[in-house]
Structure 1
Amino acid sequence: MLADRPRSREGGGVIAVMILVTVLAAGIYFIGLDGYPLLDPDEGRYAEISREMLETGDFITPRLNYVKYFEKPPLFYWCVAGAMALFGQSEWVVRMVPALAGLLTVVLIMALGNCLFGRRVGVMAGWVYLTSVIPLILARLPIIDGLFSLLLTATWGTWWCGYRALPGGAKRRWYIAAWALMGLAVMTKGVAAIALTGGIVLGVIALRSDWRALGSLCWISGLLVFAVIVLPWHLAAGFRNPEFFHFYFV
């Protein structure tokens, strides 16, 4: 028992560092969000689309300057419009969604690193992400990529947990969660989520020569969950706007 005390203290120290990294991330990502106007063209574009959704009450057809805008799926717009409905319209509120996505990405990376490789690796991975320039930019600008990065990280992490799990209920749940998260990623930035996730999964399986793993991906139930998340908006947008599918996919 005495020999276990140093390990316990070390584990407690690592947890304290994880909490510290989380607090630092919250400060870095959230403080001063309203200290400067909307700068990047995408900032104003996505903020205005979200504002017009809230104004018109039409959450199916995105509009920019009241003109139909089908460049991207609507999940990010929905999140920003929801924040506006709760907290009002300001630069801070518009930027709150990507800031929260950045914070959750740091926490998720630490949690995945902890589960897969140990607490020290989790802390280091979270710290590296927090101190990287591109994630900082994505977390402080109201653009789609911060939320997209969070959902891709969650998709790949849950898939990897499912891949490593023993056959059974836990493996199935991890895989279905990965399908659901990939659906949310598609609702954020389109089919790029499928291409990137497919590349990661096939790359890992090819490196391990474990092609039988493809058969255990819960294709039927996973695709059903994916379709429930992705299809309703696409079908509704196409039904309301005959030009949608040609513009969106072509």
Structure 2
Amino acid sequence: MQSSNLRLIQVFLAALILFVPFLGAVHLFDWDEINFAECAREMIVTKNYLRMQIDYQPFFEKPPLFIWLQVLSMKLFGINEFAARFPNALAGMVTFGFLFSAGRKLVNDSFGVLWVTLYAATWLPHFYFKTGIIDPVFNLFIFLAFYQVFCLRIQAAKWKHMLLAGLFLGLAVLTKGPVAILVSALSFGVYIVLNRGLNGYSWKHLLGIATVALLVTSVWFGVEWLQNGPTFIKEFLSYQAGLFSQNIADHEEPWYYHPIVLLIGCFPASVFLFQYSLRKRPVVSSEPALAWGQWMWILFWVVLILFSIVKTKIVHYSSLCYYPLTYLAARQIFRIMQNPPSVKAGVKALFIFLGTLWGIVLTALPLVGIYKDRLIPLIKDPFAVGNLQADVPWNYWECIPGIIYLLAIWLIGWTWKTRFSRSLTFLMILQVASIQYTMLHFVPKIEAYSQRAAIEFYEDKAGKDVYIDVVGFHSYAYLFYAKKMPVQNPGYYDREWLMHGHTDRPVYFVCKIQNADPYRKDPDLRELYEKNGFVFFTRNLSQ
């Protein structure tokens, strides 16, 4: 027990070291990161903590729990990038602690450590805890609810697990909305079909979970209804339905989008799913572990199929798959380590292929920056061409980590057959180091290309008595980085008034280069300059 507790402390410390340092080293990315941070900032400015706002207008897309966490963080650390991302760093610490605790209860301490390590060594799961988007917290609550439902069947103190399952499900709804109920209901429906009945669950416990979840969500939804009527609820539900039935914000992708995202983005864990064989019984064969494995397969396929069907497809929509994917992969790795079968030839080939792909990307990024002048004539997108004109320094030595990664992947694949455990340890170290290096070195440079010119413009206008607006594209960055305060003149929300009316203060507009020509021809606008794909205009104070 003392050894397990010590390992749990070590897991928390490892998560702290991986996720907290350098959280504020790069600007928040448009849209989602800045969107939620701006909601939190406007809550603080207006002191209205019940309703979400963007540009001080009602924001109907999300419930408030994650925004509240960001507000608390901003109260501690100030309104900045670090504070906006800190709740997810905490979620990462809780996640790692939970994975270890669940893993050791299902199998043993070694399996708990393996599950945590694999999660940390997988690209997208690791990356998401260093962002300011909602999904890491939402996924954690959903997964905790699933685990409590699982415990409800196999453990005593059933009322405790029922209450906790309802609590976590309710918190998930308060974080992202009714998609939590949809995923849970579909998953339990599949469970019933596969097991030809409730299989150890009772309707009174399921009703209890639903009741507790309803009470938790009423903490905000009910108060919102009583205070402001049903408007928010109607608009919110309408938006959620639109995500499933329509292409929102040009995020329509083919049905195989999420399988590819998981296969490549969840390397190396995704590779080990293909090690499964229906003819071989896993070493992890205790009844709880096998039952939990069934739940993990159900959750994985429900999330993957559901978000492959919906019209709107964004990378993080399938991020709930990270939990079952890493567990199932860890189980296969554990089987190989405990009773070594040979790694399938197809698995080895896929590992080398995907690892090589990542190595090529890491090696090619500096080369793209160095040889961008040769690439620009081949690019048809004017905005991408403008982005590449940013002055971002690159050197040939920055290719070395990518080359090392490539060589290491091939070495690991070559030695798997005879030294699997040692090669696996080397792989975990390689992955964690590569992910950290990418976050600290490459992500700031990518941000410099994609948006920094615009953000520097907004920051220059912070605290000044001016209006700023974006035209021809969607953004939240001008609100957060210009530190926009509530506007008293209702004309501000009229684009025609801003462009051609008698404004009471100077007005600035930002657009992307491909949309600039109509504004360049407008006699009421004056172009200030063009930089890295953005064009900046102004209107002088009307007389």
Query: Contact 1:205 / 1:213 at 8 angstroms: preserved in 2?
Result: no
Per-residue deviation, 1:18: 4.3
Match of 2:223 in 1: 236
Match of 2:68 in 1: 78
- 5 Å-filtered alignment, 1:1-250, equals 12=3, 16-166=6-156, 170-216=157-203, 218-238=205-225, 239-240=227-228, 242-250=230-238
Paired with 2:204 and 2:127, the residues of 1 have a C-alpha distance of 34
Q: Deviations over 1:58-116 (max 9, x none)?
A: 11210011111010110000110111123322211111101111111111111111122
Query: Contact 2:39 / 2:53 at 8 angstroms: preserved in 1?
Result: yes
The structure where helix makes up a greater share of residues is 1
| TM-score of the two chains, using structure 1 as the length reference | 0.86
Paired with 1:99 and 1:48, the residues of 2 have a C-alpha distance of 19
- Which has the greater radius of gyration? 2
Paired with 1:210 and 1:164, the residues of 2 have a C-alpha distance of 16
Name the CA shift for 1:127/1:201 in 2 (closer, same or farther; >3 Å): farther
Query: Contact 2:152 / 2:158 at 8 angstroms: preserved in 1?
Result: yes
Paired with 1:91 and 1:209, the residues of 2 have a C-alpha distance of 49
Flag structure 2 segments of 5+ consecutive residues without an equivalent: 239-543
Name the CA shift for 1:216/1:172 in 2 (closer, same or farther; >3 Å): farther
Flag structure 1 segments of 5+ consecutive residues without an equivalent: 1-7
Per-residue deviation, 1:240: 1.1
| TM-score of the two chains, using structure 2 as the length reference | 0.41
Indicate the SS of the match to 1:141: coil
Larger RCO: 1 or 2 (CA < 8 Å, sep 6+): 1
Identity %: 27
Per-residue deviation, 1:216: 4.8
Paired with 2:80 and 2:57, the residues of 1 have a C-alpha distance of 23
Paired with 2:16 and 2:186, the residues of 1 have a C-alpha distance of 32
Paired with 1:205 and 1:114, the residues of 2 have a C-alpha distance of 27
| Residue correspondences, number | 237
